[in-house]
Amino acid sequence: MFNSLAARYDAMNHIISLGQDLGWRKIAARLALRATTVQRALAAGRVPTALDVASGTGDFAFTLARQGCAVVALDFAAQMLNVGRVRQRNDRDLADLELSVAQIKAGPATHGIAWVHGDALHLSFDDNSFDCAVTGFAMRNVTDIGTTFREMARVVRPGGRVVCLEVARPSATLLRLGHQLHTHYLVPLLGRLLAGQAEAYRYLPNSMTDFPPPPALKQMMEQAGLRRVRYTLHTFGAVALHVGEVE
């Protein structure tokens, strides 16, 4: 399904979120790349590194790279990664900064992005490989949330952070009603009119039905071994931003 959405994926995300998704990712990236993480990397003679799990076409990876990070953008949908590569090659600031995984493993001297086809449940990286790991609007799509968090925590160096940006459901009655109208009716309509993919965009509200609410997701991160897990709600409770630390 995600391969078929790749061509219009970014534009649809911006429309569906009313343009707010880029701002959410900037906030999340700042939390992932805290000052001590950056200082530790620079002291080791390299730029900070990040793993973007289920990166899609790379919105989160682009945000991190623009903040001076060397990013591995990992996804199981090859066509999503192909679109991300084309985006990078057409990007004024990042066009010449496509990296290899080997460069990032060796201690990157510059920021940029490496595009990797891979499985979030079985990350092909050694323990303590990255300064931070992030995921944006992807946990609803994995088959095992706990395993994904454990894998993300495993590959992050002690002192680094795991950050999860995901949709949530507002608790206030009127806000919840408006949110349901948006996700159950407006999103599929936009998917049909703008992308010719109404059924695929019905997946969004359906995927939210059984997804853990923020307190339960916090507990799952703690069970995965992360410490000092906390979350904040954004846009009237429609988005949750979780942060956990690796010890």
Looking at residue 40, its pLDDT comes to 95
One-letter amino acid for residue 96 of the chain = D
C-alpha angle 231-239-30 in degrees, rounded to nearest 5: 60
DSSP class of residue 234 equals E
CATH of the domain at 97: 3.40.50.150
- Bridge partners for 70 per DSSP: 49, 112
Residue whose C-alpha is closest to residue 232's, from 163, 148, 150: 163
State the angle between helix axes of 78-89 and 59-66 in degrees (0 to 180), rounded to the nearest 10.
40
Is 195 domain-assigned?
no
Q: Is residue 177 part of a domain?
A: no
Number of domains within the chain: 1
Measured in whole angstroms, how far is the alpha carbon of residue 240 from the centre of its chain? Answer: 12
Contacts of 95 (CB under 8 A, 6+ apart): 88, 89
Instruction: Please give the structure tokens belonging to residue 207.
Output: 């995927």
Which residues are paired to 162 by β-bridges?
Answer: 133, 244
In a domain, 138, yes or no: yes
In a domain, 203, yes or no: no
Domain limits for position 34: 2-169+211-245
Domain membership flag for residue 7:
yes
At residue 19, the pLDDT reads: 76
**Is the whole model's pTM more than 0.85, yes or no?**
yes
Residue 223 lies in a domain: yes
| Residue 174 pLDDT | 63
* 181: its two tokens: 């109208």
pLDDT tens track, the chain, 247 positions: 555 454 555 665 666 667 788 899 999 999 999 999 999 999 999 999 999 999 999 999 999 999 999 999 999 999 999 999 999 999 999 999 999 999 999 999 999 999 999 999 999 999 999 999 999 999 988 999 999 999 999 999 999 999 999 988 877 666 666 656 656 656 666 666 655 665 655 666 666 678 899 999 999 999 999 999 999 999 989 899 999 999 9
Instruction: Report the distance separating Cα 110 and Cα 65, nearest Å.
Output: 10
Residue 7 has what pLDDT?
Answer: 53
Whole-number pLDDT of residue 171: 74
